[in-house]
Amino acid sequence: SQTIHQWPATLVQPVGSPLSLECTVEGTSNPNLYWYRQAAGRGLQLLFYSVGIGQISSEVPQNLSASRPQDRQFILSSKKLLLSDSGFYLCAWSVHRDNEQFFGPGTRLTVL
């Protein structure tokens, strides 16, 4: 069966510090991968998606970036965090882009 992992589960970072969140998927090959952010009391916002290694599409201009160094690894990064980057970050995968997406447990980021 397929599983998706995210770490860390929670993170507290000062403004201006770098960020690296990692997501890995097991039990499938060549998945579509997604990064979402959920601000408090709001719905999910798609940040990035990837259909393959090294292929990243950005949905919203951010001070964030994403990379896919391996088939089942998706990384969300920032060089300098802003207060507005606080939120719940979710990674998801799907078999094909037409299929339902399965979400990881999320990372709660607090920027102080």
Partner 1 sequence: DAKTTQPPSMDCAEGRAANLPCNHSTISGNEYVYWYRQIHSQGPQYIIHGLKNNETNEMASLIITEDRKSSTLILPHATLRDTAVYYCIVRVATGANNLFFGTGTRLTVIP
Binding site for partner 1 (CB under 8 A): 32, 34, 36, 38, 41-46, 49, 51, 57, 59, 88, 90, 92, 94, 97-98, 100-106, 108
Name which of 106 and 111 has its Cβ closer to partner 1: 106
Tell which phi-psi region holds residue 27, choosing left (phi > 0), alpha (psi between -120 and 50) or beta.
left
Closest CA to 111 of 16, 43, 41, 40: 16
Name which of 40 and 83 has its Cβ closer to partner 1: 40
Shortest distance, position 16 Cβ to partner 1, whole Å: 27
How far apart CA 8 and CA 82 sit, in angstroms, is 19
